[in-house]
């Protein structure tokens, strides 16, 4: 692909190869890639990097309430420790139904 040319299937042969192998790709718009390359970072990395670089910046804003990256990281670590105390091991799947992000966060604080 040359500089300045927008990405689309016509100038990206790698995606055309995937288009032939997946029948649903033919329904994609011309500029929608058929594959997504994710960075090799874990979820803790994705939270740890900004919490160390920008600890006082708002990570979540909801109806006028804010939570900084550092506060969010601390809450995530508290939840991980609480799950570990319940016997849940690394790699096991856990689900939780949340009504609203910060309201649910307040509920989690009151539960511990």
Confidence of residue 97 (pLDDT cuts 50, 70, 90): confident
The tokens of 82 are what?
Answer: 């609480």
Between these two residues, 72 and 6, which has the higher pLDDT value? Answer: 72
Instruction: Please state the domain extents for the chain.
Output: 1-37, 43-111
Tell me what pLDDT residue 108 has: 61
CB 92 within 8 A of CB 80: no
What is this structure's pTM? 0.54
Query: Per-residue pLDDT for 43 more than 60?
Result: yes
Kindly provide the b/e burial profile for residues 73-83, where b requires at least 16 CB atoms within 10 angstroms of the residue's own CB: beeeeeeeeee
């Amino acid at each position: 692909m040359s500089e300045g040319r927008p990405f689309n299937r016509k100038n990206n042969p790698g995606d055309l190869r995937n288009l032939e192998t997946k029948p649903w790709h033919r329904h994609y718009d011309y500029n929608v890639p058929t594959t997504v390359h994710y960075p090799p970072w874990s979820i803790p990395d994705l939270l740890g990097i900004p919490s160390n670089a920008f600890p006082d910046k708002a990570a979540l804003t909801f109806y006028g309430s804010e939570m900084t990256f550092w506060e969010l990281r601390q809450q995530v670590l508290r939840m991980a420790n609480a799950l570990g105390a319940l016997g849940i091991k690394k790699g096991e799947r856990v689900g939780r139904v949340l009504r609203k992000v910060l309201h649910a966060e307040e509920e989690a604080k009151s539960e511990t």
